[in-house]
Amino acid sequence: MHIDIITVLPELLESPLNHSIMKRAKEKGLLHIHVHQLRDYAINKYGQVDDTQYGGGAGMVMMCEPLARCIEKLKDERTYDEIIYLTPDGVNFHQRIANMLSMKQNLLLICGHYKGIDQRIRDKYVTLEISIGDYVLSGGELAAAILVDSIGRLIPGVLNDETSALTDSHQDGLLAPPVYTRPANFEGMEVPEILLNGNFKLIEEWRHEQSVLRTQERRPDLME
Ligand code: ADE
């Protein structure tokens, strides 16, 4: 998969996309991430990419020309399956969307700042608008990092044990069950007996039960 990301703050994306599983995905050649500095497409030598909003009001708006120039250049190089704008007024991000995006070849992500990007860029180029939750971040970069991480780990071959993504919370509409490792007794707290007896059918049943209980307790909305 190839992911291009347009941002004014590439530094914010460096660490999250270059460690752990994302690093492994890149090293295996399964994920290619290219971060593009929007200021390279600025309207003047001062690197201007934003301006005050028409109609008045606080906050700057990211201008059409730099974004259009950058997007057009990238579109000349490849055909995108989706051009995604990270914004708090987008559709709520969900595991279903991550699953869908993990099957694409080419994605272009646009990180907004300040009051956001000019509506005409959204109208002309953006095919999907995603919010990672009902709160406002200072910019789209952290949201983009979350999106890329959640998609990247689903690409076949990225995780060593392919089944481990399938048993994640949300993958089957339920929260994941509790997990335990050594020691079997920690300060008097025992690992549930059933996990120690080697009966995998019973263990699977117990895990499913625990998933259902946890989901009913914490996220009843998911049970509907
Ligand atoms: N940019 C600012 N806040 C955001 C959010 N909640 N989701 C996605 N992008 C954002």
Q: Ligand 1 centre and the CA of 22: distance in Å?
A: 21
Q: Is the CB of 101 under 6 A from ligand 1?
A: no
pLDDT digits (tens, 9 = 90+) for 28-74: 999 999 999 999 999 999 999 999 999 999 999 999 999 999 999 99
39 in the same domain as 147: yes
Q: Is residue 162 part of a domain?
A: no
159 is a domain residue: no
The confidence score (pLDDT) of residue 1 equals 98
Over the chain, what is the mean pLDDT? 96
| Site of tokens 């099957």 | 103
Same domain, 140 and 191: no
Whether the CB of 140 sits within 6 Å of ligand 1:
yes
Interacting residues of 149 by C-beta distance below 8 A, sequence separation 6+: 16, 17, 21, 22
The pLDDT score that the predictor gives to residue 193 is 97
Q: Are residue 58 and residue 117 in the same domain, yes or no?
A: yes
Mean pLDDT for 155-180 is 87
Would you say residue 19 lies in a domain?
yes
Whether residues 88 and 181 fall in one domain: no
pTM for this prediction? 0.94
The verdict on whether omega for the bond into residue 10 sits within 30 degrees of 0, i.e. cis, is no
Closest CA to ligand 1's atom 10: 87
Tell me the mean pLDDT in the region 118-140.
Answer: 97
Asked, for residue 189, whether it belongs to a domain, the answer is: yes
Q: Which atom of ligand 1 is nearest to the CA of 87?
A: 9
46 touches ligand 1 (CB under 6 Å): no
pLDDT, residue 166, reads 80
Residue 163 lies in a domain: no
Residues 71 and 83: beta-carbon distance below 8 Å:
yes
pLDDT in tens, 19-29: 999 999 999 99
Q: What is the mean pLDDT of residues 153-168?
A: 84
Written as six digits, the tokens of 16 are: 């999250």
**Tokens at residue 53, please?**
């909003």
For the segment 128-145, the average pLDDT, to the nearest whole number, is 97
Q: Which residue in this structure is represented by tokens 């952290």?
A: 142
Q: Tell me, what CATH number does 185's domain have? A: 1.10.1270.20
The pLDDT of residue 162: 59
Which residue's alpha carbon is at the smallest distance from atom 6 of ligand 1? Answer: 88
Please check whether residues 137 and 185 belong to one and the same domain: no
Residue closest via CA to ligand 1's atom 2 equals 137
Q: Which residues touch 74 (CB under 8 Å, ≥6 apart)?
A: 4, 6, 36, 80, 108
| Residue 157 maps to a domain | no
**Number of Cβ within a 10 Å radius of residue 132:** 21
Question: Over pLDDT 90: what percentage of the chain?
Answer: 93
C-beta separation of 84 from 148 below 8 A: no
Q: Whose CA is nearest to atom 7 of ligand 1?
A: 131
pLDDT at 21: 92
pLDDT at 169: 86
**One domain for residues 15 and 114:** yes
The answer to whether residues 123 and 84 belong to one domain is yes
Check whether 141 has a pLDDT greater than 80: yes
Distance between Cα 192 and ligand 1 center (Å): 40
User: What pLDDT, on a 0 to 100 scale, did the predictor assign at position 163?
Assistant: 63
Domain count for the chain, please give it: 2
State the CATH number of the domain containing residue 78. 3.40.1280.10
**30: in domain:** yes
Range of the domain at 89: 2-152
One domain for residues 47 and 133: yes
The better pLDDT of the pair 114, 152 is held by 152
Q: Is the pLDDT of residue 87 over 80?
A: yes
Mutate to test the pocket of ligand 1, among 129, 137, 146, 147 (most ligand atoms within 8 A of CB): 137
Regarding whether 192 and 148 lie in a shared domain, the answer is no
16 lines ligand 1 (CB under 6 A): no
Residue 109 burial (CB count, 10 A): 27
Residue 160, domain member (yes or no): no
